[in-house]
A = this chain, B = another copy of it.
Amino acid sequence: MSENHCIDTALIEEATALIDLLRATQLTVVTAESCTGGLIAAALSYAPSASECLHGGFVVYTKDHKTIALGVSRDLLERSGSVNAEVASELARGALQRSAADVALSVTGVLGPDPDEDGNPPGQVYFGVLRRGRTPRVVQHHFKIGDPHQARRAVVLRAMALVRETAHS
């Protein structure tokens, strides 16, 4: 079943392990999700004790909402589109400013099957991780786009891995 679904048992185990790590390191997290549409926060919310570490998140699907909800520069979005390192960084910064969490994780990308309105290819995804008081880290990854569940699942797993690395750093 794990081939055809996004939030499967293995993903919930990963979420639970991450929440346990966050509890142990006394860190809390907030998300800012574009292409995943809320799936990272949703996956984390399956973990027992999630509410101790997951403050919540922002789903910023349109450019307008990236600006209105998280303060991403309209000029940046018009000039460079939504899928780039600077937007990933701004999303994380905006989410951290609008929460009491210690770490913000952002994701912006194209999960296809078609390119986005700016011509970014399916599979291109940028992640931003920002721990309060530090500088943002941005990671780019190209995902294989086939089954939509699998693509989303891979992005959620990569996002969790980045938060894990941040908790250890």
- Residues of chain A touching chain B, judged by Cβ–Cβ distance below 8 Å, are 1, 4-8, 30-31, 33, 35-42, 44-46, 50-51, 54-62, 64-66, 68-69, 98-101, 148-149
CB within 8 Å for A41 and B61 given contacts A4-B1, A148-B46: yes
3 A-B pairs closest in CB distance: A38-B38, A37-B45, A38-B41
Establish whether residues B68 and A62, one from each chain, have CB atoms under 8 Å apart when the complex forms.
no
Establish whether residues A55 and B51, one from each chain, have CB atoms under 8 Å apart when the complex forms.
no
Establish whether residues B68 and A98, one from each chain, have CB atoms under 8 Å apart when the complex forms.
yes
Complex Cα distance, B35 from A42, in Å, reads 9
User: Which B residues are CB-close (under 8 A) to A57?
Assistant: 38, 58-59
User: Which B residues are CB-close (under 8 A) to A39?
Assistant: 38-39, 42, 45
A125–chain B nearest beta-carbon distance, Å: 14
A41–chain B nearest beta-carbon distance, Å: 4
CB within 8 Å for A69 and B61 given contacts A38-B38, A38-B39: no
